[in-house]
Amino acid sequence: MSSVAPPLVSVLIPAYNAERTIGAAITGALTQTYASVEVVVVDDGSTDRTRDICESYGDLITFASIANSGTANARNIAAGLARGDFFALCDSDDILLPPHVSTLMAAYTNAGGGRRFAHADAYFLTPTGMGHGRTIMYGRTPSPREQRLRLLEANYVSIFALMPAQLFTELGGFDTDLYLEDWDLWLRAVFGGWEVVGSHAAHALYRQVVATKSSDRTRVFEGERAVLRAIAARADLAPDERDYLRRRLAADSPRALHDDAESALRSGDYAAARELFTRSAQLWSTNRTLQTKAWLMRRPLVPALWRRRLGGVDQRLGRTPR
């Protein structure tokens, strides 16, 4: 009696100057416990040994090399080469652990399949190793009726996502003009009637890179505004969604406010830190950690103790405070 073959999952890996990490990314994708996986790697015009390393895998992967045009386009090219019924995302500096694809497929199937896509948690991978048990997801995936509004607040969908190829085709892939193209894709998906399914088992490693230059932060926060301006142009926004976008676009990013609050705390300016944490929490209501921080800043003695703890974290992660 023959069994039905499981759907093919294509793991899409864009790579640019990733000679130090691409081998681990490819090997992780190739060693999944899920029975039907193909690995598609697109080298985005690397100038180091990335291409040579990818080509050394031979027929084990599907590989293409293109002129440098950005991560979004490299992912789109990979999707065009893929044969899978589903796409799973993996960046060239991240690692998928063996149960990753199986876990996401189970989450998708158990939720009912159809117009859904799944995402998973991951452990931080720091310069000193795994990040002390810390994971990248800061809360539970919102219920279907809350997903549109909460995704406007922040991108709660991790990059470790698995989606039907139909979703990618229907939405036209990643927008190559946007810096935060993944958040934009998830927004277009949920506003197009797709539901997010969360798997909070961590079966991947996310390499944490601390942005130290102000230009890096500016690019991220300007990228947030570009994504939100695009979604604000939709005609099908609910009143609460339109009101939130109005308030959000008139203010700073809640992430920027949070970062500025921590900088103020490090410098000992507790009043400024208190105000900035409060403003950030007002724009990011689902982040329980942030809500707790805003509350703690109003408690006696806590800011000084917290400042000391931040210093210890900075030292452990090799981070230079702004």
Residue 67 to residue 6: CA distance in whole angstroms: 35
The pLDDT confidence band at residue 2, using thresholds 50, 70 and 90, is low
SS3 138: coil
The pLDDT confidence band at residue 189, using thresholds 50, 70 and 90, is very high
Tell me the per-residue pLDDT of 281-300, one tens digit each, with 9 for 90 and over.
Answer: 999 988 888 999 999 999 99
Tell me the per-residue pLDDT of 196-253, one tens digit each, with 9 for 90 and over.
Answer: 999 989 999 999 876 545 668 889 999 999 999 999 999 999 999 999 999 999 998 9
| 47 CB-near residues (< 8 Å, 6+ apart) | 17
> Is the CB of residue 305 less than 8 Å from the CB of residue 295?
no
To which H or E segment does residue 280 belong? helix 270-283
User: What pLDDT shows up at residue 149?
Assistant: 96
For residue 185, which amino acid is it?
A: L
Residue 243 to residue 247: CA distance in whole angstroms: 6
| Token code pair at residue 302 | 């806590």
For residue 321, pLDDT beyond 80: no
Q: Which CA distances in Å does 59 have to 1, 89, 119?
A: 31, 20, 28
User: What pLDDT shows up at residue 216?
Assistant: 81
* Beta-bridge mates of residue 66: 44
The pLDDT confidence band at residue 315, using thresholds 50, 70 and 90, is low
Tell me the per-residue pLDDT of 111-127, one tens digit each, with 9 for 90 and over.
Answer: 999 999 999 999 999 87
User: Following CA atoms 275, 277, 281, 283 in sequence, which dihedral angle do they give, to the nearest 10 degrees?
Assistant: 70
pTM of the model: 0.89
CATH 3.90.550.10 domain locations along the chain: 9-207
**Mean pLDDT for the chain?**
93
CATH architecture of 9-207: Alpha-Beta Complex (3.90)
Residue 156 to residue 206: CA distance in whole angstroms: 15
For residue 21, pLDDT beyond 90: yes
Q: What is the mean pLDDT of residues 138-154?
A: 93
Q: Output phi, psi for 213, to 5 deg.
A: -90, 140
Residue 211 to residue 122: CA distance in whole angstroms: 19
The pLDDT confidence band at residue 17, using thresholds 50, 70 and 90, is very high
